[in-house]
């Protein structure tokens, strides 16, 4: 028996050293697979997510029915899994060439080492194409608050920063500026007011952009004595917080509903594309709305190499 | 034991009059002991209150037995998720329970203390190596392995499950790999530490005479263990399994990665499913109005499920132990003796135990290797020592927020927990009804899933009391989470203080309160220190209860009134949007290291205590 234990111990020690040598950063790659594999499975976001809402509303089949229409009384195909975060979508897509998913364009651009975007209806997901409307998968990034006049000076100053030349440059790095705001953008006047705290809560999709903006905002106010807190709790939570006065500004990755607009003002700060992504190296280059609809609703595989 | 002689008799050193300070102290202890009762009712009350709009609008039966969950179309039926939760838990307890119990049996009876290697060569270095290996205490190492497994944050298990388990099960196919099977195995791994350590405690508690007697009657070792000791420890083992079930039902953060999260009935071992807990975590951020209320109601169903499980644990009769064991012994003696040189079945069990222990060891090795390989390269100086900024997560602010969280939580929870334990051990009559009730509520509180604590903290502290997402709100929530751990370990420490110490103190004329504070508490100090460290471990590893109460901000001002991320929550938010995966893996390494350090501290405290005795 002792010999057995010894054997187990030796085997364990060997594997420790063997794998220890390969230590690196990031997840280890899964096995190689065919890059021309058909797309047979898909990843969706959970109901209520801003990304999912925009995707379901926009993607329609040849007859003009959207995924939203199909879901009323129906359900997604059984080959579709739901994930609660962009990271989970990207990690899952990166597992196999047979899986397709969608994610915020900004998040995708940070993960081009594992996944790649495909053209949608023959159009590439670029800034120009989204602005011109040729690339059809996009959604607004919104701020929301009860009333602009009642905002604190600090909040107003942050918004003026976002809409200044400097702020618009940051928006333009990963997301798409609103042309009218970008054209009117000018010099930013540093904050001189007396408020010291600003709480921002809401959409996890808007959160990374807001973090970059606030970091630059703080840098633009050297020697500042204010603190800005950003919490990514989801669009719904951000809107509810704004309604009940638990934050100064709410973030939403979807337009507000008419009911929400009764109590809140929405303020668009950027447009975000939704990238359709597959594992890096896949030979799939283009998908049509009809193919996406059929994959997500009927589970019909997308055959790679047949696209036009 | 001698303890029963004088137990709980207040010394009559001051005549019949009780000093007001004594009375005040006693009342204080009782109040603290009752806080867990208040907490349980508070949680049930608030969750129920939050669920009422959903029940009113959807209808209780439509909610519970509806088969379609489509919040966007106002369809809220949780039956598929209820069924999934039950099946996955069953799977976890079958796999994890079997492996856990057999590992415990192996550890208790077959695990050799030390390697007994012999080296006859002349190489001095090799000889030293062999000597060193022989010095390693195997049992201790295995105990530590199990404790480390217990301390790894759920979210790390989730990443591991997705990248190792799902890939392994899918066999290269894009579909499959996620579902009931993967979830069950994932949860089995997660409940292993609980089941193993509690089963081992139960086996260790069986009097040695049982085992020795069985051997004396001519049983083989395997027969003695499986026919006598294991049946005698049955009630303890069943309790361990029930506690495992409770943990499996309540787990959220890990399951999300390996289940596919579709609110559908299962159609096979690898069809996408969603459980009750993940339903809450997935949609809470986006939910408003009736949807939000429906999610809180999901929490209520979960809570009721856990309550049923905890209460059924109380139905396992404690006296059962001895009777059952005696019966076996008597049975063997009165029946016609059948002599078998080798009982095949027990021997198979013994070997199976060894295999299970091997699996546990291998599992831990795999998880640790996975974390190290993914994360060590990510420990950059920028991340560790870089200046905090709002868009680049660094270790600094999270560490500060975690320390504040630990500080505030312990400042509240430790005094309350210790006072409660003092009441239970020093004042209450053993076996009295009040004690039973309080114990039941403490057990219930410890069984409440983290995500339900999160919901409760969000409704009460963040919203109703207007604390917003802040360290305060997080700490108040964590007080409830760690209170049962503190009470139970402190109670054990107090119980271990020998009775004659108290008697000597009374004999010298000291009052009861004075004895407790001057004699009992100082002697129990190492145990109380252990309790605090266990609590710290729980706080560091917690994520589900903190996301909705403390927020997920990267920066932290140092003011407990503002939002901040603890280390585990930072790991969650780093991994969430896919911007900071490197930092997430680095944090996993740091959390693992902290778990190891805390376990080592506990180990050394306990060893120093043992040496003293």
Mean pLDDT score across all residues of chain A: 83
- CB-neighbour burial class of residue A192 (10 A; exposed 0-12, middle 13-18, buried 19+): exposed
The pLDDT of residue B20 is above 90: no
How far is the C-alpha of B260 from the C-alpha of B236, rounded, in Å? 35
Element (H, E) at A32: none
B286 to A237: CB separation less than 8 angstroms, yes or no: yes
The pLDDT of residue A237 is above 60: yes
Q: Are strands A197-202 and A286-287 parallel, antiparallel or unpaired?
A: unpaired
Asked which of B95-109, B237-251, B577-591 is least confident by mean pLDDT, the reply is B577-591
HEC sequence for B208-249: HHHHHHHHHCCCCHHHHHHHHHHHHCHHHHHHHHHHHHHHHH
The pLDDT of residue A26 is above 70: no
A105 touching B, CB under 8 A? no
| Short-list B317, B418, B247, B311, CA closest to B44 | B311
Residue B45, C-beta contacts closer than 8 angstroms, at least 6 positions apart: none
Give how far Cα A29 sits from Cα of A135, A277, B385, B513, Å.
32, 18, 29, 62
Residue B302, C-beta contacts closer than 8 angstroms, at least 6 positions apart: B85, B249, B250, B276, B277, B280, B449, B451, B452
Per-window interface: A 2-21 vs B, CB < 8 A: 2, 4-6, 8-9, 12, 15-16, 19-20
Question: Which chain B residues have a beta carbon less than 8 Å from that of A13?
Answer: none
A236 to B287: CB separation less than 8 angstroms, yes or no: yes
Of A16, A40, A227, the CB nearest to B174: A40
- Per cent of chain A over pLDDT 90 is 25
Q: Which fold would CATH assign to domain A34-138+274-298?
A: D-Maltodextrin-Binding Protein; domain 2 (3.40.190)
The pLDDT of residue A103 is above 50: yes
Residue B18 has φ and ψ, to the nearest 5°, of -100, 125
For residue A25, give both structure tokens.
């950063």
Q: How confident is the model at residue B326 (pLDDT cuts 50, 70, 90)?
A: very low
Q: Identify the pLDDT of residue B477.
A: 94
| Preferred mutation among A18, A72, A167, A211 to probe B, highest tally of B CBs within 10 A | A211
Of B115, B285, B376, the CB nearest to A2: B115
Residue A123, C-beta contacts closer than 8 angstroms, at least 6 positions apart: A129, A134, A135, A136
Asked which of A171-180, B129-138, B408-417, B486-495 is least confident by mean pLDDT, the reply is B129-138
Q: Identify the pLDDT of residue B350.
A: 82
Of A79, A86, A246, the CB nearest to B175: A79
Residues B174-190 have a mean pLDDT of 86
**B334: number of Cβ within 10 Å:** 8
The pLDDT of residue B118 is above 70: yes
Of B133, B163, B286, the CB nearest to A236: B286
Residues B280-304 have a mean pLDDT of 86
Residue A118 has φ and ψ, to the nearest 5°, of -110, 160
| Preferred mutation among B579, B586, B587, B589 to probe A, highest tally of A CBs within 10 A | B579
Q: Identify the pLDDT of residue B16.
A: 53
Asked which of A158-167, B136-145, B196-205, B453-462 is least confident by mean pLDDT, the reply is B136-145
How far is the C-alpha of B281 from the C-alpha of B297, rounded, in Å? 13
The pLDDT of residue B240 is above 90: no
For residue A147, give both structure tokens.
């009333």
Question: Which chain A residues have a beta carbon less than 8 Å from that of B174?
Answer: 37, 39-41, 95-99
Q: Identify the pLDDT of residue B259.
A: 87
A12 to B361: CB separation less than 8 angstroms, yes or no: yes
- Crossing angle of helices B525-541 and B471-496, in 10° steps, is 150
A84 to B286: CB separation less than 8 angstroms, yes or no: no
**B25: number of Cβ within 10 Å:** 21
Question: Which chain B residues have a beta carbon less than 8 Å from that of A244?
Answer: 463
Residue with the bigger pLDDT between B391 and A186: it is A186
Smallest CA–CA separation between B116 and chain A, in Å?
Answer: 7
The pLDDT of residue B343 is above 60: no
Q: How confident is the model at residue B328 (pLDDT cuts 50, 70, 90)?
A: very low
A167 touching B, CB under 8 A? no
Q: Identify the pLDDT of residue B183.
A: 92
B112 to A23: CB separation less than 8 angstroms, yes or no: no
- CB-neighbour burial class of residue A69 (10 A; exposed 0-12, middle 13-18, buried 19+): middle
Place of tokens 């807990």: B277
Give how far Cα B400 sits from Cα of A19, A159, B377, B404, Å.
34, 30, 24, 6
| Preferred mutation among A47, A66, A89, A302 to probe B, highest tally of B CBs within 10 A | A47
A229 to B562: CB separation less than 8 angstroms, yes or no: yes
For residue B156, give both structure tokens.
């790390």
Q: How confident is the model at residue B322 (pLDDT cuts 50, 70, 90)?
A: very low
The pLDDT of residue B606 is above 70: yes
Q: What is the CATH number of domain A140-272?
A: 3.10.105
B286 to A234: CB separation less than 8 angstroms, yes or no: yes
Contact B319, B232 (CB under 8 A): no
Mean pLDDT score across all residues of chain B: 82
Closest residue of chain B to A77, computed from CA coordinates? B262
Q: Identify the pLDDT of residue B579.
A: 65
Contact A129, A275 (CB under 8 A): no
The pLDDT of residue B260 is above 90: no
A107 touching B, CB under 8 A? yes
Contact B265, B67 (CB under 8 A): yes
Q: Are strands A138-145 and A265-279 parallel, antiparallel or unpaired?
A: antiparallel
Contact B504, B443 (CB under 8 A): no
B262 to A81: CB separation less than 8 angstroms, yes or no: yes
Q: Identify the pLDDT of residue A290.
A: 92
Give how far Cα B143 sits from Cα of A140, B411, B525, Å.
54, 30, 23
Query: Do A34-138+274-298 and A140-272 have matching folds?
Result: no
Cα B607 → chain centroid: 22
Question: Which of A11-25, A172-186, B323-337, B387-401 has maximum average pLDDT?
Answer: A172-186
Q: How confident is the model at residue B342 (pLDDT cuts 50, 70, 90)?
A: low
Residue A122 gets the label, from left (phi > 0), alpha (psi -120 to 50) or beta, of left
For residue B416, give both structure tokens.
């309350």
B282 to A87: CB separation less than 8 angstroms, yes or no: no
Question: Which chain A residues have a beta carbon less than 8 Å from that of B117?
Answer: 2, 6
pLDDT in tens, B63-75: 889 888 888 788 8
Residues B323-337 have a mean pLDDT of 44
Give how far Cα B334 sits from Cα of A236, B323, B330, Å.
71, 16, 6
pLDDT in tens, A163-199: 999 999 999 888 888 888 888 888 888 888 888 889 8
B283 to A48: CB separation less than 8 angstroms, yes or no: yes
The pLDDT of residue A158 is above 60: yes
A228 touching B, CB under 8 A? yes
Smallest CA–CA separation between A152 and chain B, in Å?
Answer: 18
Q: Identify the pLDDT of residue A306.
A: 62
Closest residue of chain A to B160, computed from CA coordinates? A27
The pLDDT of residue A16 is above 80: no
Q: How confident is the model at residue B390 (pLDDT cuts 50, 70, 90)?
A: low
Q: How confident is the model at residue B334 (pLDDT cuts 50, 70, 90)?
A: very low
Domain segments of chain A as ranges:
34-138+274-298, 140-272
pLDDT in tens, A37-49: 888 889 998 877 7
Contact A251, A141 (CB under 8 A): yes
Closest residue of chain B to A115, computed from CA coordinates? B578
B362 to A12: CB separation less than 8 angstroms, yes or no: yes
Residue B337, C-beta contacts closer than 8 angstroms, at least 6 positions apart: none
A2 to B573: CB separation less than 8 angstroms, yes or no: no
Q: Identify the pLDDT of residue B541.
A: 86
DSSP state, residue B466: -
Alpha helices in B284-432 (DSSP H): 289-315, 320-334, 344-375, 381-385, 395-422
**B482: number of Cβ within 10 Å:** 26
- Report the DSSP beta bridge partners of residue A197: A227
The pLDDT of residue A131 is above 80: yes
For residue A35, give both structure tokens.
């890059």
Residue A123 has φ and ψ, to the nearest 5°, of -115, 135
Per-window interface: A 29-58 vs B, CB < 8 A: 30-31, 33, 37, 39-41, 46-50, 53
The pLDDT of residue B256 is above 50: yes
Question: Which chain B residues have a beta carbon less than 8 Å from that of A95?
Answer: 166-167, 170, 174
B578 to A19: CB separation less than 8 angstroms, yes or no: no
B262 to A2: CB separation less than 8 angstroms, yes or no: no
Residue with the bigger pLDDT between A15 and A237: it is A237
A12 to B170: CB separation less than 8 angstroms, yes or no: no
Residues B378-405 have a mean pLDDT of 80
Q: Identify the pLDDT of residue B324.
A: 41
How far is the C-alpha of B580 from the C-alpha of A128, rounded, in Å? 27
**A173: number of Cβ within 10 Å:** 10
**Using alpha carbons only, how large is chain A's radius of gyration in Å?**
23
Which domains are seen in chain B, by residue range?
Answer: 3-35+379-612 (1.10.3720.10), 94-276+320-375 (1.10.3720)
B469 to A233: CB separation less than 8 angstroms, yes or no: yes
Residues B256-263 have a mean pLDDT of 86
| Short-list B454, B493, B459, CA closest to B474 | B454
How far is the C-alpha of B68 from the C-alpha of B610, rounded, in Å? 58
Question: Which chain A residues have a beta carbon less than 8 Å from that of B134?
Answer: none
Of A15, A75, A84, the CB nearest to B256: A84
Interchain CB contacts (distance < 8 Å): A and B: 244
Question: Which chain A residues have a beta carbon less than 8 Å from that of B167?
Answer: 30-31, 95
The pLDDT of residue B315 is above 80: no
What is the CA angle B219-B355-B342, rounded to 5? 20
pLDDT in tens, B512-566: 888 998 889 988 888 888 888 888 988 988 888 888 888 877 777 778 888 888 8
Q: Identify the pLDDT of residue B283.
A: 83
Q: How confident is the model at residue B434 (pLDDT cuts 50, 70, 90)?
A: confident
pLDDT in tens, A261-307: 999 999 999 999 999 999 988 888 899 999 999 999 998 888 887 65
Contact A152, A195 (CB under 8 A): yes
What share of residues in chain B are helix, strand, coil (percent, to 5)? 75, 0, 20
Long-range contacts of range B607-611, CB-CB < 8 Å, 24 or more positions apart? B608/B526, B609/B526, B609/B527
Q: Identify the pLDDT of residue B94.
A: 93
B578 to A46: CB separation less than 8 angstroms, yes or no: no
| Short-list B598, B603, B463, B585, CA closest to B533 | B598
For residue B556, give both structure tokens.
């932290």
Question: Which chain A residues have a beta carbon less than 8 Å from that of B285?
Answer: 48, 204, 232-237
Give how far Cα B430 sits from Cα of B4, B351, B436, Å.
9, 41, 9
How far is the C-alpha of B29 from the C-alpha of B31, rounded, in Å? 5
Q: Identify the pLDDT of residue A32.
A: 45
Question: Which chain B residues have a beta carbon less than 8 Å from that of A171?
Answer: none
Question: Which chain A residues have a beta carbon less than 8 Å from that of B163?
Answer: 27-28, 30, 91
pLDDT in tens, B393-433: 788 888 889 999 999 999 999 999 999 999 988 888 877 88
Question: Which chain B residues have a beta carbon less than 8 Å from that of A98?
Answer: 173-175
Smallest CA–CA separation between B397 and chain A, in Å?
Answer: 12
Q: Identify the pLDDT of residue B176.
A: 67
Secondary structure (DSSP) of B86-140:
HHHHHHHHHHHHHHHHHHHHIIIII--SB------S--HHHHHHHHHHHHSBHHH
Smallest CA–CA separation between A150 and chain B, in Å?
Answer: 20
Q: Identify the pLDDT of residue A94.
A: 86
């Amino acid at each position: 028996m002792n010999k057995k234990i010894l054997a187990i111990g030796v085997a364990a020690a060997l594997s420790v050293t063997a794998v220890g040598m390969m230590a690196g950063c990031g997840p280890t790659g899964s096995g190689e697979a065919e890059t021309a594999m058909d797309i047979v499975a898909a990843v969706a976001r959970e109901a209520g997510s801003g990304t999912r809402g925009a995707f379901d509303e926009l993607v329609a089949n040849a007859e003009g029915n959207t995924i939203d229409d199909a879901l009323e009384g129906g359900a997604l195909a059984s080959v579709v899994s739901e994930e609660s975060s962009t990271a989970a979508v990207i990690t899952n897509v990166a597992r196999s060439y047979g899986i397709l998913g969608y994610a915020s364009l900004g998040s995708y651009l940070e993960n081009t080492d594992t996944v790649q975007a495909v053209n949608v209806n023959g159009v590439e997901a670029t800034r120009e194409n989204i602005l011109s409307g040729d690339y059809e998968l996009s959604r607004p990034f919104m701020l929301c608050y009860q009333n602009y006049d009642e905002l604190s000076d600090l909040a107003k100053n942050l918004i003026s920063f976002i809409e200044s030349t400097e702020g618009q440059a940051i928006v333009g790095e990963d997301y798409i500026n609103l042309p009218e705001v970008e054209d009117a953008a000018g010099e930013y006047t540093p904050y001189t007011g007396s408020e010291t705290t600003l709480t921002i809560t809401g959409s996890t999709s808007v959160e990374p952009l807001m973090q970059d903006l606030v970091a630059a905002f703080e840098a633009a106010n050297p020697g500042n004595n204010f603190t800005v807190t950003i919490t990514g709790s989801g669009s719904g939570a951000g809107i509810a917080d704004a309604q009940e006065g638990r934050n100064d500004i709410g973030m939403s990755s979807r337009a507000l509903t008419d009911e929400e607009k009764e109590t809140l003002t929405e303020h668009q700060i950027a447009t975000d594309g939704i990238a359709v992504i597959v594992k890096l190296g896949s030979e799939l280059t283009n998908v049509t709305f009809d193919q996406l609809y059929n994959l997500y609703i009927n589970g019909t595989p997308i055959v790679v190499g047949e696209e036009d | 034991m001698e303890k029963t002689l004088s137990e709980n008799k207040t010394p009559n050193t001051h005549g019949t009059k009780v000093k007001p300070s004594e009375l005040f102290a006693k009342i204080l202890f009782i109040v603290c002991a009752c806080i867990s009762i208040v907490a349980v009712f508070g949680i049930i009350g608030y969750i129920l209150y939050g669920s009422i709009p959903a029940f009113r609008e959807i209808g209780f039966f439509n909610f519970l037995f509806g088969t379609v969950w489509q919040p966007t179309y106002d369809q809220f039926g949780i039956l598929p998720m209820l069924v999934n939760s039950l099946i996955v838990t069953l799977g976890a307890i079958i796999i994890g329970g079997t492996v856990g119990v057999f590992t415990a049996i192996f550890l208790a009876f077959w695990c050799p203390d030390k390697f007994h290697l012999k080296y006859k060569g002349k190489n001095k270095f090799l000889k030293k190596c062999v000597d060193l290996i022989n010095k390693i205490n195997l049992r201790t190492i295995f105990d530590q392995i199990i404790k480390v497994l217990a301390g790894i944050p759920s979210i790390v298990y989730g990443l591991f499950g997705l990248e190792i388990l799902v890939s392994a099960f899918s066999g290269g196919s894009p579909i499959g790999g996620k579902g009931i099977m993967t979830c069950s195995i994932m949860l089995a791994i997660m409940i292993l530490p609980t089941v193993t350590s509690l089963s081992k405690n139960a086996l260790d508690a069986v009097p040695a005479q049982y085992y020795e007697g069985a051997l004396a009657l001519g049983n083989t070792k395997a027969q003695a263990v499986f026919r006598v000791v294991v049946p005698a420890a049955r009630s303890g083992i069943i309790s361990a399994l029930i506690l495992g079930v409770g943990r499996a039902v309540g787990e959220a953060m890990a399951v999300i990665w390996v289940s596919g999260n579709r609110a559908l009935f299962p159609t096979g071992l690898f069809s996408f499913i969603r459980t009750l807990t993940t339903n809450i975590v997935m949609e809470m951020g986006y939910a408003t109005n009736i949807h939000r209320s429906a999610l809180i109601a999901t929490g209520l169903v979960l809570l009721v499920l856990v309550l049923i499980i905890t209460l059924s644990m109380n139905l396992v009769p404690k006296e059962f132990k001895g009777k059952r064991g005696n019966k076996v012994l008597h049975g063997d003696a009165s029946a016609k003796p059948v002599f078998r040189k080798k009982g095949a079945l027990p021997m198979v069990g013994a070997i199976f135990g060894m295999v299970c222990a091997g699996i546990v060891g291998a599992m831990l090795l795999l998880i640790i290797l996975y974390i190290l390989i993914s994360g060590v390269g990510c420990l950059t100086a920028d991340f560790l020592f870089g200046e905090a900024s709002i868009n680049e997560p660094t270790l600094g602010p999270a560490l500060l927020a975690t320390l504040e969280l630990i500080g505030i939580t312990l400042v509240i929870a430790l005094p309350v927990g210790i006072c409660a334990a003092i009441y239970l051990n020093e004042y209450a009559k053993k076996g009295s009804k009040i004690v039973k009730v309080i114990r039941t509520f403490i057990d219930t509180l410890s069984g409440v899933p983290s995500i339900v604590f999160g919901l409760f903290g969000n409704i009460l502290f963040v919203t109703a009391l207007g604390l917003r997402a802040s360290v305060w709100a997080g700490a108040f929530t964590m007080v409830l989470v760690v209170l049962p751990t503190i009470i139970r370990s402190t109670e054990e420490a107090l119980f271990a203080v020998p009775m004659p110490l108290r008697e000597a103190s009374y004999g010298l004329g000291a009052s009861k309160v004075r004895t407790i504070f001057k004699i009992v508490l100082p002697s129990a100090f190492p145990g109380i220190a252990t309790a605090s460290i266990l609590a710290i471990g729980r706080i560091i590893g917690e994520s589900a209860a903190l996301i909705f109460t403390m927020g997920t901000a990267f920066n932290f001002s140092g003011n407990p009134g503002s939002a901040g991320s603890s280390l585990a929550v930072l790991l969650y938010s780093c991994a969430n949007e896919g911007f900071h995966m490197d930092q997430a893996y680095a944090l996993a390494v740091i959390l693992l290291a902290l778990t190891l350090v805390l376990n080592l501290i506990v180990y050394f405290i306990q060893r120093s205590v043992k040496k003293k005795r």
